[in-house]
Structure 1
Amino acid sequence: MPDDFLLAVINFATSTLTAITGAGGGMILIAVMPFFIAPQAMIPLHGATQLSSNASRAWFGRKSIDFGDFRPFLIGSLAGAAAFGVLVNFLRLDSVPLFIGVYILLSLWSARFNHFIRNFENFYVIGFMQTGLSVFVGAPGPLALAMLHRRHADTDTVVSTAALMMAVSHVLKMPVYVWLGFRFSEYLPLMLMMIAAAALGSYAGTRLRHLIPAAVLKKILHWLLTLLAVQLIAATAWRQGWLGL
Structure 2
Amino acid sequence: ALFVLFLCWGPALPRASFGNTGIFLASGLTSFISLFVGATGPLVAAFIKQIHRDRLTTVATFATAMTLQHAPKALVFTVAGFVFPDWLPFILAMIASGFAGTWLGLHVLRSLSNRWFHQAFNLILTALAARLLWQAGQSAGWW
Instruction: Give me the whole-angstrom Cα distance separating, in 2, the residues matched to 1:183 and 1:235.
Output: 34
1:108 aligned residue: 4
Give CA-to-partner distance per residue, 1:77-104, whole Å, 9 cap, x none. xxxxxxxxxxxxxxxxxxxxxxxxxxxx
Q: Residue 198 and residue 233 in structure 1: after superposition, are their counterparts in 2 closer, same or farther (change >3 A)?
A: same
Residue of structure 1 equivalent to 2:95: 195
Cα distance between partner residues in 2 of 1:158 and 1:216? 13
2:79 match: 179
Please, which runs of 5 or more residues in structure 2 have no aligned partner?
Answer: none
Residue aligning to 1:71: none
- Normalised by the size of structure 1, how large is the TM-score? 0.41
User: How far apart in 2 are the matches of 1:218 and 1:147?
Assistant: 11
Deviation at residue 120 of structure 1 after TM alignment? 4.9
What letter corresponds to residue 221 of structure 1 in structure 2? I
Question: Where does 1:51-66 land on structure 2 (aligned, <5 Å)?
Answer: none
Deviation at 1:200, TM superposition (A): 1.0
Q: Contact 2:18 / 2:51 at 8 angstroms: preserved in 1? A: no
In the TM superposition, structure 1's runs of 4+ consecutive aligned residues that sit over 6 Å from their partners are none
Which residue number corresponds to residue 124 of structure 2? Answer: 221
Q: Which runs of 5+ in 1 are unaligned?
A: 1-104
Partners of 1:166 and 1:234 in 2: CA distance: 27
Indicate yes or no: 2:42 matched with 1:121.
no
In structure 2, the residue corresponding to 1:209 is in which secondary structure?
A: helix
1:157–1:110 distance in 2 versus 1, CA, 3 Å: closer
Percent identity (aligned): 25
Q: SS in structure 1 opposite 2:105?
A: helix
TM-score of the aligned structures, taking structure 2 as reference length: 0.62
Counterpart in the other structure of 1:67: none
Determine whether 1:140 maps to 2:36.
no
CA distance in 2, matches of 1:110, 1:154: 21
Match of 2:57, SS state, is: helix
Count of residue pairs brought into register by the alignment: 130
